[in-house]
Amino acid sequence: MKILANDGISQTGIDALTADGFEVITTNVAQEQLVNYINSNAIVGLLVRSATTARKELIDQCPNLKLIGRGGVGMDNIDVDYAKSKGLHVINTPAASSASVAELVFAHLYGGVRFLYDANRSMPLEGETNFKGLKKAYAKGVELRGKTLGIIGFGRIGQEVARIGLGIGMNVIAADKFIDKASIKVSLFSGAAVTEEIQTQDMDSLLEQADFISLHVPSQKDYVIDKAAFSKMKKGAAIINAARGGVLDEVALVDALDSGQLSFAGLDTFENEPKPEIKLLMHDKISLTPHIGAATLEAQDRIGEELASQIASLLK
């Protein structure tokens, strides 16, 4: 049986699938050619990340397709319910990338409080001629330790973010519509561990208390953070979106940054991927990454292994 990993898959995933008797194809097929490729090559499983979509039209035109897999968490690029109604298996890897996304959140946070996102732009241009000026410009950094981190969406990734926050001495609070509380275990390299129970609260309370906010919610119809939400945040707070594009109002974000309501933002996801708005790309208070939350070697290995395990279980 042939599996098309159209957006790629780790070698560990390929090896695991091959060992189970599957043929893995990693050719990147253009979206408009995908239906023809799947049918002409007798593909039974389509694996995607965020670039390829699997909509109703593709599902209807590929009768031999038995499984669609998402290497990651969010499945808004797949018509999940429709696929299932047609008898297809739809799988994802909700646990595999949590640690990688959480670490990226803190890369943005640490870079933000020490102005690294801007210093890395300025140093190549002015480092030789204006070193003292830049030193003064970036001399008012703050520490994360002792500050309040608000996490909106307290599932696997949100809890992983909490784990790191607790580990570096932050006060961690959380809001979630479906989770009342969670026990967060912080493990040391030595094997010792400390467990902290976090009770979730309403979002307005979180917005008022948090020095830094991290979003970990699925794609949805309305903004989770809009103009009204920004106005409720502490003056000088900061926000990170490594969840999905469209959960944060980007126009309102720019306004909040320009007015000084927010000190900085970190964006890994955007409303208009793969063509983010130029105002975001050029803004001097935004730390930017191109949707790489799960893009670590370790996470990709875990994703490949988790996909392979599920595929073998469902199709063999």
The domain that holds 10 is classified in CATH as 3.40.50.720
Q: Does residue 174 share a domain with residue 84?
A: no
Whether the CB-CB separation of 17 and 3 falls below 8 Å is answered with: yes
Query: Tens digit of pLDDT per residue, the chain (316 long)?
Result: 999 999 999 999 999 999 999 999 999 999 999 999 999 999 999 999 988 999 999 999 999 999 999 998 889 899 999 999 999 999 999 889 999 999 999 999 999 999 999 999 999 999 999 999 999 999 999 999 999 999 999 999 999 999 999 999 999 999 999 999 999 999 999 999 999 999 999 999 999 999 999 999 998 889 999 999 999 999 999 999 999 999 999 999 999 999 999 999 999 999 999 999 999 999 999 999 999 999 999 999 999 999 999 999 999 8
Residues 301 and 271 in one domain: no
Is 25:4 a contact under the CB 8 Å cutoff?
yes
Angle between helices 98-113 and 116-126 (to 10 degrees): 60
Cα–Cα distances in Å, from 213 out to 133, 143, 181, 209?
A: 30, 15, 18, 10
As a residue count, the chain comes to: 316
For 244, the domain range is 98-288
Question: Are 140 and 273 members of one domain?
Answer: yes
CA distance 266 to 253: 11
To 10 degrees, what angle do helices 156-167 and 98-113 make?
50
Residue 94 pLDDT: 85
Contact (CB, 8 A) for 66 and 315: yes
Same domain, 24 and 112: no
Do 200 and 272 share a domain, yes or no? yes
Among candidates 213, 215, 204, 272, which has minimal Cα distance to 242? 215
57 and 190 part of one domain: no
Hey, what amino acid is at 71?
A: G
Give the integer Cα–Cα distance in Å for 263 and 112: 9
Global pTM value: 0.90
Please tell me the predicted confidence (pLDDT) of residue 146. Answer: 98
Same domain, 89 and 159: no
Just list the catalytic residues: 244, 273, 291
Contact between 143 and 128 under an 8 Å Cβ cutoff? The reply is no
Q: Are residues 180 and 123 in the same domain?
A: yes
DSSP 78: B
DSSP structural state of residue 31: G
DSSP 243-275: S-TTSB-HHHHHHHHHHTSEEEEEES--TTTTS
Q: Are both 117 and 32 inside the same structural domain? A: no
Q: Which residues contact 107 (CB under 8 A, 6 or more apart)?
A: 289
Specify whether 119 is located in the same domain as 76. no
Do 273 and 171 lie in one domain? The reply is: yes
How many other CB atoms are found less than 10 A from the CB of residue 74? 17
Number of domains observed in the structure of the chain: 2
193-199 and 181-187 as β-strands: parallel, antiparallel, unpaired?
antiparallel
Q: Do 17 and 69 have their domain in common?
A: yes
Find tokens 């949590």 and name the residue: 98
Do 13 and 304 form a contact (C-beta atoms < 8 A)? yes
